[in-house]
Amino acid sequence: MLNKFGKERAELIANYVIETGATVRSAATHFCLSKSTIHKDLAYKLRYLNPALYEKARVVLDQNKLERHIRGGEATKQKYMLKRLKK
């Protein structure tokens, strides 16, 4: 059984992700936790602790998953543009 802190943490993370649209990686940085912990709290624990909040967080996580290839491409583009400007 999860203790009170585990439930509060999962709900706090979920609310942050919903309000900001944060990715798992940025939420992990914000809360000083690992990506695995964030993912486990949102994808597994929250489902049983607060199903309504889980559904809302799931929408944001699914959207981020659909967009991740675009973010990766943009990051690579920026990286090489910076290299070109430094020459």
Model pLDDT for residues 43-73, shown as the tens digit of each residue: 899 999 999 999 999 999 988 888 766 666 7
Per-residue confidence (pLDDT) for residue 34, from 0 to 100: 96
Per-residue confidence (pLDDT) for residue 2, from 0 to 100: 57
Give the CA-trace dihedral at 67, 70, 71, 76, to 10 degrees: 160
Question: Which residue in this structure is represented by tokens 């942050």?
Answer: 16
Per-residue confidence (pLDDT) for residue 5, from 0 to 100: 67
Distances (CA, A) of 86 to 45, 72, 77: 47, 22, 15
Per-residue confidence (pLDDT) for residue 67, from 0 to 100: 72
pLDDT over 60 (residue 86): yes
Global pTM reads 0.73
